[in-house]
Structures are given as C-alpha cells and as structure tokens.
Structure 1
C-alpha cells in the first residue's frame, strides 16, 4: 500500500510470520498510507548491510517515518497509535485509560514474552524475585483475568493494545506455547476476525508461497 500522508511517509520493513505482521495489521486498522519493504527472512535478507544500517539487529518490525527509525514491537505500536490520535486507537495522555493502556502494552514485552520463551525452552525456574515476570502461572493469570472483564483490554473500546495481544496470543496458542480458556479464545477470535487481520494474513500467506 503506497502513498504519502500529511504527517509524512511511513515505511514498514516486513517479513511474514514475524512480529512485523502485527504492526502491519495496526497500520491497516489505522487506515493510513504506508510503503512496505518486504525482506525474505529465510534467505537472510534481513542480515544484509543495507538493512543492518537501519536496524543493526536485523529484526522486525522496523519502521521509518520521516527519517526517524523506530524498532522494537512495543515501541512501534505506541508510536503509530499516538501518531494518529484521530483514529482513536490509543487513549489520550489525559484519558483515564492511558495508564492501563501503557501497562498492558509494556506487559506483553516485559513479562509475557520472557515467560513464554523460558517455558518453551524448558529453562529451570528461578526465584520469582529474580525473574522479570515473577511466576509464570501468575503472569498468565493476570492477563487472562483482565481479558475476562470485558470484550477488549480497555473495556468496550478496541485499541492498538488489542492488536498486540490478539496476535501474540493467537501465535502462542497455535504453537502450543500457552494454554487458553473459552474467554481467551473468544477474545482472540474477536481480534483475528477483523478485516485488517484477515487481509494481512492472506497477504502474508501469498508472500510465503512466493518465497517457498
């Protein structure tokens, strides 16, 4: 999807079935023009010098907006949702939901992902006081309890944090990294059945076929 927005140009460096997928879904939810530079992850194009000049870790997602480079999944979500406040996908600074929004965005990267990775690799448990997430079961129960309270993480209103969590939970469930329950399954379905996710999923599948 190409174009220039009045706020400047956005380029997403993307590879299918990476964390970049969620950021592309968010861009589609925002309904704003963006350029996409697709790299063949399997062929190692993300480790080529041109891309490493932009993101030395060779990771996805990587955004460039008006010459500003934004990397790390959580940062990309926060940046884009705040860039377009009129789209209503991020609470304003003075909105009572702003604190909860920031909490659950940060929770995904600081607690959920480290815990899931440790469990996936069967790493020995360490003292909760020394783990970034405390105890695995408590970490998972905390986000599941929040999901059980309302249709979306911030209540009745869909926001960028739901894109982040819906996709994260879907992938982790699909690979058997987490156990879910009916309420969590229903939450995942609410997110991944949205037109933006369906479109990106179809596009990603086409890209995978192209690279196979």
Structure 2
C-alpha cells in the first residue's frame, strides 16, 4: 500500500486554539505555522507557501501573482482570517482555479459597538478625563469641567450603510433613548469616486460615523 501523501497547509500567524485544533484533526493535512503574533516576513512567507496545498493568511499578507507563482500548482485553497479581501489578487487567484474563503459578518456587531464606543468616548472627552486622573489634574467635582456632549436626543449621521452601518443605528437607540438618525445608502462602485457627495447629506447631524473601505477614499472624505 502506498503511503498517503499529506496535503501541506501553511498558516501565517498564531490563530485561536479552536482553529488550530480543527486543522490538527484533519487526517490528510500536515500543518505548518508561523508561530508568532507579529506579521510574517516576506522571506518566511515565500518559504512556507512553496508547495503548499492550502494557505491560511491574514490581511497583513499580500497574496499577489509573485506569491502565487512561488506557491506553485499545488495551491488549491486560500482562507483569510478577515472580512476584507483587498490583500488578495482575486483575478489572478480565479485564473488558477483556487478557492477562497473569508469571514463575512463575523465582526459586524463588534465593529459597530466599537464605533459607538468611540463616539461616546469623544463626545464625553474620556481620553482627556483619564489623562487628568493619571497626572493628578482631577481635584474635586467641578460643574463644567470636561462635561463634553451627550448623545441623548442628538442626531447621528452614518456615512456608508453596508453591513456595519445598520449595527451602529441599533446601538445608539439602546444607549441614548432613540436619537434621530441620518444615513447614506451603501457605498457602491459609482459612489466611491466622489465620497464628498455623501457628506452634505449628513449636514443635519450632530455627530457623524463613517463606514467605508479604502484609505484612499477615507482620506478624501475626511
């Protein structure tokens, strides 16, 4: 009987133990992992992916034509521990018949909650207050000191109503008594070219939260 040839799976970072255990239980897989919480150097990435049948990567690893050539024809599956896939050369991957897995919706609620947390943090001037407590600036209660602004009764503008925007719209309702909401529709291919057009739609908002991908578009709109 011929020995079973194991399929090589290369993992580019430490991952949650549940994921590692699932890979370890696959009888036909030989798993190699870059055992660090820091991004893998390109040289190590190229070494690890060479001859691999599967690649489990993060958004910090750019999977382009060069890396795919280095991997060779064995590579059949790429899984990325991320919602976004901007780091993957999807057209090139599709040409080679490689399947792609990603994690949509996993962080939708968490990201919406963090966005609302940042909104509350800035409105209530929490970073300044924490710093004052640390450096001894807080002495006693003062009626007007670091009061900030509340969300109750305010209008929150949401730019980019994709997966996360609706989550934002639910969090303020729970936190501050159903404030008014203004939002723009989902950012599509046409709208990405002129995100300035979205900002006037939120001129009636007291606070604004932005959700759209791409640093280029973000820097243009702020």
Give 1 or 2: higher strand fraction. Answer: 2
Q: Please report the TM-score for the alignment, with normalisation by the length of structure 2.
A: 0.27
Q: Bigger relative contact order, structure 1 or 2, given CA contacts below 8 A and separation 6+?
A: 1
Give 1 or 2: higher helix fraction. Answer: 1
